[in-house]
Amino acid sequence: MTESSRLPTLFVPHGGGPCFFIKPEDIPPGVPKDLWHPMENYLRGLDEAVGRRPKAAVVISAHWMTPHPTIGNAARHPLYYDYYGFPPYTYALSYPAPGAPAVAARVAELLGQAGIKSDMDNQRGIDHGVFVPLMLIYPDAGVPIVPLSLRQDMDPAAHIAIGAALQKLRDEDVLIIATGMSFHNMRALRNPDAGGDSRLFDDWLGHAVESPNAADRNRALAHWHAAPGARFAHPEEEHLLPLMVAAGAAGADRGHRNFAEPLGQIAMSGFIFQ
C-alpha cells in the first residue's frame, strides 16, 4: 500500500450515553430535541470521509482504562451497556460487528516491538464509547472491531507513544478511531453561560492539533493541562486521552478539525489526521 493510500486516524466525539438513539418523546424537558443532531450527522458521514472501508478498526474508548494497554481479542464482542438512567430500549441496542483476533495479535506485536507491555481480554465486550459511534459510522456492523484500552495512569505522552507504535496499522488497511469528547465537564454542559469558557480550550486544541509540525503538536498535547481553560474543559482527562493515541498514530501527518459544531453553547470538535 502506498504512502498516499494509507488510512487516516480519527478522534471523534461519541456523545452522551446512547444519546443518538433516544426517542424524541423520551428527551427530558428543557433539552433541545435536536441537540445531538449535528454530531450524529458528522458520525454518519465518516465512512465516506475516510474514503474506503478498512479491513478492521482499532477503537480506543474513553470508557476503558487498565494498568497496561489491553486489547480486545474476542471473535465476537458482547455489548457492555455502561450508562445509567436511560430508557429500557437503549439497553437492547445491538451491534453485531465481529472481532478481529489476528489484528488484535498484530496490535500486541507492534506494542511489544516498541517496548510497551500489553494484555489481552476476550471477555469484557465493547462499551458505549465504541458501539454507539460505530452504530452511526458503520451501521451495517460490517467492519471488524478491536477495542483498545487507555492506561489508568492517564499519562498523555505514554498515550502518544502507544499511538506511534501502532502507526504501521494504517498501511495495513486498519483504521484507528479514538473516541471521547473534546470537552467533558458535565456540570458545565448544563450551564448556559459556559460557552465562552469552553471556546478557550477548544481554540487552543484546534491550534495544537493543526500544527504543521508533528513534534510541536505532540509536545503541546503532552502538556495539554497547561492550556487556557484546560481543567474547566476536562476536570478529568479520560475523554481527551484517546486524542493522544490518534495523534501519535498520525506520525508526520497533519491534523485537521473536521467537526466544529457546538453542543448547545459548548464548543465541541472532532479531528482527522491524514
Q: End-to-end CA distance of the chain, in Å? A: 15
Nearest one of 125, 160, 139 to 40, comparing CA atoms: 139
Give residues with Cβ within 8 angstroms of 240, minimum separation 6: 180, 181, 182, 184, 224, 233, 234
Instruction: Report the residue count for the chain.
Output: 274
User: Residue 18 domain-assigned?
Assistant: yes
User: Residue 196 domain-assigned?
Assistant: no
- Can you name the residues that pair with 119 across neighbouring β-strands? 70
Residue 23 burial (CB count, 10 A) = 9
| Nearest-angstrom CA–CA distance, 145 and 75 | 9
Nearest one of 125, 231, 221, 138 to 177, comparing CA atoms: 138
Q: What is the pLDDT of residue 4?
A: 56
User: Residue 142 domain-assigned?
Assistant: yes
Q: Answer for the pair 104, 149: CB distance below 8 angstroms, yes or no.
A: no
**Torsion region of 147: left, alpha or beta (phi above 0 gives left; psi -120 to 50 gives alpha):** beta
Helix 214-222, helix 195-209: angle, nearest 10: 140
User: Residue 90 domain-assigned?
Assistant: yes
Q: What is the pLDDT along the chain (274 residues), one digit of tens a residue?
A: 344 589 999 999 999 999 999 999 999 998 999 999 999 999 999 999 999 999 999 999 999 999 999 999 999 999 999 999 999 999 999 999 999 999 999 999 999 999 999 999 999 999 999 999 999 999 999 999 999 999 999 999 999 999 999 999 999 999 999 999 999 997 777 776 666 788 999 999 999 999 999 999 999 999 999 999 999 999 999 999 999 999 999 999 999 999 999 998 899 999 999 9
Range of the domain at 13: 3-191+201-273
| Nearest-angstrom CA–CA distance, 148 and 167 | 14
Domain tally, the chain: 1
> Taking the model in full, what pTM does it have?
0.95
Q: Answer for the pair 214, 250: CB distance below 8 angstroms, yes or no.
A: yes
User: Residue 14 domain-assigned?
Assistant: yes
Q: Answer for the pair 33, 27: CB distance below 8 angstroms, yes or no.
A: yes
Supply the CATH number for residue 249's domain.
3.40.830.10
Nearest one of 179, 195, 207 to 267, comparing CA atoms: 195
State whether the Cα torsion 222-226-230-235 is positive or negative.
Answer: positive
